[in-house]
Amino acid sequence: MSDSLPPDTSGIPSALPVPKRRWAVSIVWLIPLVAVLVGGWVAVHYLMARGPTITIEFANADGLEAGKTKLRYKEVDIGTVSAIAIAKDRSHVIVTAKMAKQADDLLVTDTKFWVVRPRVTLNSISGLGTLLSGAYIGLDAGKSAESQSDFKGLETPPPIPSDLPGRRFMLHADDIGSLYVGAPVYYRRVEVGSITSYKLDENGRGISLEIFINAPNDKLVTTNARFWHASGIDVSIGSSGVTLNTESLTSIIVGGISFQAPEEARPAEPAKADTNFTLFENKAGALKLINQEVHSYILYFDESLRGLAPGAQVDFRGIPLGEVKSVSIEYDRSEKAVRFPVEIDIYPERMRSRYRVGAPEMSAMERDPQALLDRMVARGFRAQLKSANLLTGQLYVALDFFPKAPKAKIDWTKKPVELPTAPGALEDIQQTIGNIASKLEKVPFDTLGTDAGRALKTLDTALKSVNSTLKQADTTLAKVDASIVPELRSTLEQARKTLSSAEKTLSSDAPVQSDLRDTLAEVTKAARTLQDLADYLSRHPESLLRGKKGD
């Protein structure tokens, strides 16, 4: 067995060593791996695309629904309400909303939120689309650079979008009248803006309003612009008659504000944003010329001041020079009398502005108002109350010269200076009527009545006597008519016959007329002969002794 040969192994294949792999993945795990990768990518994309979560406080959740109510900016969905909860103090609700990534830049401190619902105001109707689509939360992006996630919603939409071009201005008034947020602002009856907000002053003595003027009309608000109430119809009755002013039909119904620079004012620069202006009661008060130089004087009248009010005109022969500042009452202890002072403001600029171009410069006396007024008062310069309108009884102060007025002098030590006055025309009429009435009271009407009664009785007796005389005359005339009238008729008949005979005798073809003509002809011839004889004798007077010479 030991000497036997080993088996032939050349035909048997030999195994080759294979190096061991570090790790191996089965194809079974490929699908889960892909799913994990896709899920991770989706999760990362979701996290990267997800916007911030914010909370908004509202008074109530009317029309809001979690998971359905959208948040919109310029009618583009930028978020969805995810939850609605009641605050711990139960005073409001807290709305949680998930915002889109693109809304990151919109969530700043001055961003505003409100619920868009159908709203009907005095001058507009909005939100009608929500009747079908449901309410949504509107957003007005702020301009701040500071981010914020907790907000307090508005109950009404902001009147002006924050990105609208234009400028805001502040107005101050004694009261708000019929104005409201959203009321229009007019310039020459064209709507150019609106009221954005208003509030009471801290001292409670006025109202501060904020208005917004749209670009490019905001340049029309200059530093000398005047604002006034344009609400309703402004009716005034003055010395010029009845004046009716209104801006538009809308302003009559819902009110508004109007502004304009005075026509006589010089061009001014556009006012800066947030500039403060005064809101006047009416257009006349707003556009009234504001004078830099003012001289105050005081007047005392002995007549009734009913109808005289602050703002009444002070003029000099029809030219306005000032206005009444105040009308009050005071007790003069020295004279123990009640007096009624009327304080007026005189604007010297108005008098100087009426100098003609090229006129001589003012004299030294004109530059010195005290010397000028002293001279004018010495010539009878007085203040007088006159009626501006007989229908309303309005009064104004007229300055004029009264040469017959008692002499007066100005005491320049008093502040304000007192100007002398003269009684008004109505006062003179009342005094005249009073004097007449006092004289009539002195007339003895009782005695005159008794005398008049006696005179009437005497007259009655005389009338009775006259009546009896007239009756007798009537009887006499009846007798005359019965006896004398027939004889008169016969006499008149014979007179007619006599006149008829005379007419026949004196007619042109009557014989008497012919004989009369012949006689007149003979008389004419004899007169001519006598004339010739007289002429001859005047030439030959000796013929009376010697006779006529022969031919």
DSSP H or E segment with residue 428: helix 425-442
- 101 lies in the same domain as 206: no
In terms of domains, do 299 and 434 share one? yes
The pair phi, psi for residue 444, each rounded to 5°, is -80, 80
pLDDT at res. 150 = 92
CA–CA dist 351, 321 (Å, integer): 7
- Whether the pLDDT of residue 533 is over 80: the answer is no
Which of 386, 417, 439 delimits the end of a domain?
439
Closest by CA to 290, choosing from 257, 312, 322, 259, is 322
Q: Is 53 within a domain?
A: yes
Looking at residue 369, what is its pLDDT? Answer: 74
427 and 350, same structural domain? Answer: yes
* Tokens found for residue 405: 């007025």
List, in sequence order, every residue forming a beta bridge with 184; answer none if it has no partner.
Answer: 194
Q: Classify residue 483: in a domain, yes or no.
A: no
Same domain, 205 and 104: no
Instruction: Single out the residue of 239, 252, 433, 247 nearest to residue 320, CA to CA.
Output: 239
Q: What is the pLDDT of residue 405?
A: 87
Q: Are 234 and 370 within one domain?
A: no
Q: Is residue 187 part of a domain?
A: yes
The reply to whether 135 and 240 lie within a common domain is: no
pLDDT score of 551? 46
Please check whether residues 279 and 378 belong to one and the same domain: no
Cα separation of 528 and 522, whole Å? 10
Mean pLDDT for the chain overall? 79
Do 93 and 228 share a domain, yes or no?
no
What confidence tier does 234 reach under pLDDT thresholds 50, 70, 90? Answer: low
The predicted pLDDT at position 95 comes to 94
- Say yes or no: 402 and 371 in one domain: yes
Percent above pLDDT 70 for the chain: 74
Whether 309 and 406 map to the same domain: the answer is yes
Sequence letter at residue 46 = Y
Asked if residue 459 is part of any domain, the answer here is no
pLDDT tens for each residue of 146-155: 889 899 999 8
Q: For residue 349, tell me if it sits in a domain.
A: yes
Regarding whether 239 and 321 lie in a shared domain, the answer is no
Q: Assess whether 307 and 424 both reside in one domain.
A: yes
Q: Judging by beta carbons within 10 Å of its beta carbon (0-12, 13-18, 19+), is residue 489 exposed, middle or buried?
A: exposed
**pLDDT over 90 at 389, yes or no:** no
Q: Is 171 inside any structural domain?
A: yes
Q: Judge whether residue 364 has pLDDT over 50.
A: no
Question: What is the per-residue pLDDT across 18-39, written as a single tens digit (0 to 9) for each?
Answer: 665 555 556 667 777 778 788 7
Enter the pTM of the model. 0.51
89-109 pLDDT, tens digit per residue, is 999 999 999 998 888 888 999
- pLDDT above 50 for 1: no
The parent domain of residue 358 ranges over 295-439
Checking if the pLDDT of 345 tops 90, the result is: no
Domain endpoint, select from 414, 439, 464: 439
Q: What is the pLDDT of residues 252-306, one digit of tens each?
A: 556 789 999 887 677 889 999 999 999 988 887 777 756 557 788 999 988 888 8
Higher confidence at residue 352 or residue 400?
A: 400
Please tell me the total count of domains within the chain: 3
| Exposure class string for 257-294: b at 16+ Cβ within 10 A, else e | bbbbbeeebeeeeebeeebebebbebbeebbeeebeee
User: How many Cβ atoms sit within 10 Å of the Cβ of residue 357?
Assistant: 4
Which of 287, 306, 339 marks a domain boundary? 287
Report if residue 323 sits inside a domain: yes
pLDDT in tens, 453-487: 777 788 778 777 777 777 877 777 777 677 666 77
DSSP secondary structure code for residue 149 in this structure: S
**Residue 14 lies inside a defined structural domain of this protein:** no
